[in-house]
Amino acid sequence: MAQTVISLCHQHLKKCFQTLEMTNKAWNLVLAECTPLISSLGNLGEQLRALDNVQLDLTPLHRFPDLKERLRFKLLQAVDVVLCKLTDKVDELQKLLKTLNNQVSTAFQFYEHNTDTLDLATCTLRSATSPSIADMLEWLQDAHNYYCSQFRRRKYLLQVLRPDDLVFMEEVSKRWESFYSADGEEHIEDTLSRVCLFVDS
């Protein structure tokens, strides 16, 4: 009885880590796609500010009527397009997060339902081929928390962006970059490498 529960639990955990691996790859891909978009957003911000600063009346271009407004309209349209694309990317991230969340919570639920069989002694038992259940649950929770906070921050950054706050817009790419946490990524990589034997078995 106990053995079957443990192996079932291991099944769940294996699925979780497979999802995690997949999420990790997909997540980084999506982020890589975001980078040019973000930098173009910063560019547009710079252009908008330049437009604010320039005095068109003093240039030969003053013959064109409403040039400033038209240019601004163009630029804002471009910002809109970039933001639309970025929102799509964020949606993709959200989907990935949701899948991971589902898997992790299923694993936790399974553990909570079987706490009678899976007592702490069993859960903390480590072997040559597999880490203990407690460790794996912890890693899963850590990974999930990490992705959640990453997602929250990036989403928040895009949501507080406003076309009239040009300074903020120029800083966007810098802030976006600052969210990247080497420690967090390393932790995920570590986790994946620790469980690779267990997942493959």
Binding residues for other proteins, per CB under 8 A?
Answer: 108, 111-112, 115, 119-121, 123-124, 134-135, 137-138, 141-142, 145, 148-149, 152-153, 156, 159-160, 162, 187
Q: How far, in Å, CA of 140 to CA of 131, rounded?
A: 13
Q: Which is nearer to other proteins, 148 or 197 (CB)?
A: 148
- Within the chain, what is the greatest distance between any pair of CA atoms? 87
Calpha distance 188→157 (Å, rounded): 23
Q: 158-189: buried (b, 16+ CB within 10 Å) or exposed (e) per residue?
A: beebeeeebeebbebbeebeebeeeebeeebe
Q: Output 18 or 149, the one with its CB closest to other proteins.
A: 149
Taking the complex as a whole, how short is the minimal distance between the CB of residue 100 and other proteins, in angstroms? 12
Nearer to other proteins, 89 or 153 (CB): 153
Shortest reach from residue 149's CB to other proteins, in Å? 7
Residue type present at position 76: L
* Residue 68 or 153 with smaller CB distance to other proteins: 153
Q: How far apart are CA 78 and CA 186, in angstroms?
A: 36
As measured in angstroms, the least distance from the Cβ of 194 to other proteins is: 13
For the bound state, the minimum distance from the C-beta of residue 182 to other proteins, rounded and expressed in Å, comes to 14
Q: What is the closest distance, in whole angstroms, from the C-beta atom of residue 176 to other proteins in the complex?
A: 13
* Structure tokens belonging to residue 140: 């899963």
Both structure tokens of 119: 């007592």
Q: Yes or no: say if 111 and 133 are a contact pair by the CB < 8 Å rule.
A: yes
Nearest residue (CB) to other proteins, 71 versus 173: 173
